[in-house]
Amino acid sequence: TLERTLGLIKPDAVRAGKSREIMQLAELSGFQLLAKKTLQLSQERAEEFYAEHQGKPFFPGLVGFMTSGPLYAMVLGREDAVKSWRGLMGPTNSLTAREQQPTCLRALYGTNGTQNATHGSDSSASANREIAFFFPELQPDALEGPE
């Protein structure tokens, strides 16, 4: 069945002018771009989005990076979207990604462990929460596929 996930094109990739290319690769990989918007996160919103990482050594750098410029948020639809998008992104660290999966999004467009070009929800439950975070105007009903 069709599943949704939340994808982000992070500020490093937006700054590098790669947003359109990443969206095209997503569509070529079978994702429907169901909704998209560009926005800049405030410190408070970034801290809320990454609340589960609060207290980790990389948290301040992560929040600083995620508030450093505009990003794209996307609702991506596909069969097995959560797992498929994470596969297309590749390993979290772009340096590792370039060693292990040179054609993945983070290898192609990211910089290092924090500035890694893209984000994707880690589960269907996270996807619902993250889609509501970035797209509160979308009705939850419209985001649940036929059961």
Give the nearest distance from C-beta 146 to ligand CMP in angstroms: 29
Q: How many CA atoms lie within 13 A of 142 on its CB side?
A: 10
**93 appears as a binding residue in the annotation:** no
Of residues 35, 36, 31, 37, the one with CA closest to residue 2 = 31
- 55/146 with CB nearer ligand CMP: 55
Give the nearest distance from C-beta 128 to ligand CMP in angstroms: 17
User: What DSSP letter does each residue of 25-61 carry, written as one string?
Assistant: HHHHTT-EEEEEEEE---HHHHHHHTGGGTTSTTHHH
53 a catalytic residue: no
- 34/41 with CB nearer ligand CMP: 41
Residue ranges binding ligand CMP (CB under 6 A): 53, 58, 62, 92, 113-114, 116, 119
Give the nearest distance from C-beta 25 to ligand CMP in angstroms: 17
CA distance 85 to 45: 23
- 34/94 with CB nearer ligand CMP: 94
**92 appears as a binding residue in the annotation:** yes
**106 appears as a binding residue in the annotation:** yes
CA distance 58 to 38: 25
Give the nearest distance from C-beta 89 to ligand CMP in angstroms: 8
Catalytic residue among 62, 114, 119, 127: 119
CA distance 77 to 3: 6
**116 appears as a binding residue in the annotation:** yes
Contact predicate 37/73, CB 8 Å:
yes
Q: Which residues are catalytic?
A: 119
Binding residues for ATP: 10, 58, 86, 92, 106, 116
